[in-house]
Amino acid sequence: MAKPPLLRCFVDGQWVTTKQRFPNINPVDGQVVSHVCEADAQTVSRAVAAARAAGQGPWKTLTANQRAAILHRIADGIEQRFEEFVAAEVLDTGRPVHQARTLDVPRGIANFRTFADLVSTAGSEMYDSTAPDGARVISYVNRKPVGTVGIICPWNLPLLLLTWKVAPALAMGNCVVVKPSEETPSSATLLADVIRMAGLPHGVFNLVHGFGPESAGEYLSTSPDIDALTFTGESRTGTTIMKAAAEGIKKVSFELGGKNAAVVFADADFEAAVAGVMRSSFTNSGQVCLCSERVYVERSIYARFLAELKKRCDALVLSYPQDPDVDMGPLISHAHRDKVLSYYQLAQEEGATVISGGGVPEFGDDRDQGAYVQPTIFAGLPDSARCVREEIFGPVCHVAPFDTEDEVIARVNDSAYGLAACIWSTKLSRAHQVAARLNTGIVWVNTWFTRDLRTPFGGTGLSGLGREGGRYSLDFYSELSTVCIKL
């Protein structure tokens, strides 16, 4: 049996081997797929210093079009190694191969191309006005890089969310130090190699592996030489990073958790609504911050909807990533499975009715050593129950009936989170009216997860701070400077 490969850090254009290592575990069968070099405080400091130095070198002199050309070369590099990226995503996460091929890797490519095209056409804003003395004044706005950006990424959509941050940061001329999740280091390491081959000056992109507290994450977020921090992940971790960012008043952008709702009105296209809720609840084993964990169905169709949802949930295929019939893979780790299962148990203690699932599947093969859980539907809980209020981040939803539009709007908004919501209705006027009253960063109508990458993305409350996407990302990764000229 071949020895698992060693994944190294990437600092100042060089691969760095550290003494401390940790195993990267495949959640499908519990096997070690690689060993990872953990960055110590010195390695992180070297990475930050390299990024700061690179920001004053040749990278600083490149035009927007020249940076855009490099981003396109990075996208080309991902395309050329497409199947390697698919394999890396699947090994780390256990997600179905077809998902990595149709979503994760294509979106990684699209992120670089989108921001390359955007920055090359962004230009400067210009205003023509009159001063109090009657003189003509021309004002224009320049975008300058923030400087050195710390990027801390999650494990649920590793390549997609990593490139979602790295692409606009580089597009605006920043230098970055990236810490991927310790659970999913493979695609980030592969991306570092693609970026190395794309010809970026040394130090512009740096990669440090490790954990959060007392490891690379903490060293990066507390570094006094980091100018901005962007993080996607759990709300409590965001709070910790925000406290660290308060020292030195660093810019921060957080995309955090969600306890998202789907609202199904009686006039909805029934087939589309059931299929949509299945997708929004169980995609990626429920490990997407945008998944629907709360489902509200108008009472007149509630029983029928719940029965059909159960039928389809019972039929989901849990299998190996390569299985062409697979619907759902494992959770990311045994530790995360323990968390999800604790909520399954809590829901029943709180009085929930288990409509489907609620436990651990048995396969009779090596998958029993993996981190699989059953896709699960609960019903019968009050809105005050912890399992209806707290993010579980697994393949689970609670389905409840509602009677009136005002009632369901109030129930959806009764949450500490405010990331996303879905509305299923054939009445467009109703959809517009309800969407305007929901306290969420994004509302989907008769769809889910479809989004133009140029639009703002983010949430309110515990769901985050700031917006990403299009020019909103460029705003975070740049400092705006206004120049006023009296003619």
**134 and 169 within one domain:** yes
Ranges 123-132, 176-185, 274-283, 459-468: which has the least confidence: 123-132
CATH number of the domain where residue 391 is located: 3.40.309.10
**154 and 273 within one domain:** no
- What is the rounded average pLDDT of the residues 282-292? 98
For the record, the structure tokens of 433 come out as 């009216």
**279 and 243 within one domain:** no
**273 and 396 within one domain:** yes
For the chain, what is the mean pLDDT?
96
Give the DSSP per-residue string, 114-174: HHHHHHHHH--EEEEEE-TTS-EEEEEEEEEE--EEEEE--SSSHHHHHHHHHHHHHHTT-
Q: Where are the beta strands (DSSP E) in 26-67?
A: 32-37
Residue 457 falls inside a structural domain: no
pLDDT beyond 90 at 287:
yes
pLDDT tens digits for range 372-399:
999 999 999 999 999 999 999 999 999 9
- Rounded to whole angstroms, the Cα distance separating 432 from 413 reads 16
- Three-state DSSP class for 316? coil
Domain that holds residue 137: 6-256+463-486
Residue 125: pLDDT band by 50, 70, 90 thresholds?
A: confident
Nearest to 293 by CA among 335, 343, 336: 343
User: What pLDDT, on the 0 to 100 scale, is given for residue 2?
Assistant: 77
CATH number of the domain where residue 130 is located: 3.40.605.10
Residue 93 falls inside a structural domain: yes
**264 and 252 within one domain:** no
User: What is the pTM assigned to this prediction?
Assistant: 0.96
Cβ partners under 8 Å of residue 372, min gap 6: 318, 329, 330, 331, 337, 360, 361, 363
pLDDT beyond 70 at 470:
yes
pLDDT beyond 80 at 123:
no
Torsion of CA 394, 367, 324, 444, to 10 degrees: 0
Which of 183, 255, 308, 391 is the catalytic position?
A: 255
- What is the rounded average pLDDT of the residues 144-154? 97
Q: Which amino acid is at 236?
A: R
pLDDT beyond 70 at 124:
no
Residue 375 falls inside a structural domain: yes
Residue 3: pLDDT band by 50, 70, 90 thresholds?
A: confident
- What is the rounded average pLDDT of the residues 129-145? 92
Which of 9, 37, 289, 422 is the catalytic position?
A: 289
Residue 440 falls inside a structural domain: yes
Residue 481 falls inside a structural domain: yes
**102 and 48 within one domain:** yes
User: What pLDDT, on the 0 to 100 scale, is given for residue 352?
Assistant: 98
**Is 350 marked active-site?**
no
For the record, the structure tokens of 195 come out as 């970026």
**145 and 66 within one domain:** yes
Residue 1 falls inside a structural domain: no
How many structural domains does the chain have?
2
Residue 238: pLDDT band by 50, 70, 90 thresholds?
A: very high
Residue 24 falls inside a structural domain: yes
User: What pLDDT, on the 0 to 100 scale, is given for residue 1?
Assistant: 60
- Three-state DSSP class for 445? strand
**115 and 10 within one domain:** yes
Residue 247: pLDDT band by 50, 70, 90 thresholds?
A: confident
User: What pLDDT, on the 0 to 100 scale, is given for residue 219?
Assistant: 97
Cβ partners under 8 Å of residue 310, min gap 6: 355, 356, 377
pLDDT beyond 90 at 462:
yes
Ranges 79-88, 130-139, 379-388: which has the least confidence: 130-139
Residue 344 falls inside a structural domain: yes
**240 and 283 within one domain:** no
**391 and 479 within one domain:** no
**274 and 229 within one domain:** no
**Is 391 marked active-site?**
no
Neighbours of 127 (CB within 10 A): 11
**480 and 430 within one domain:** no
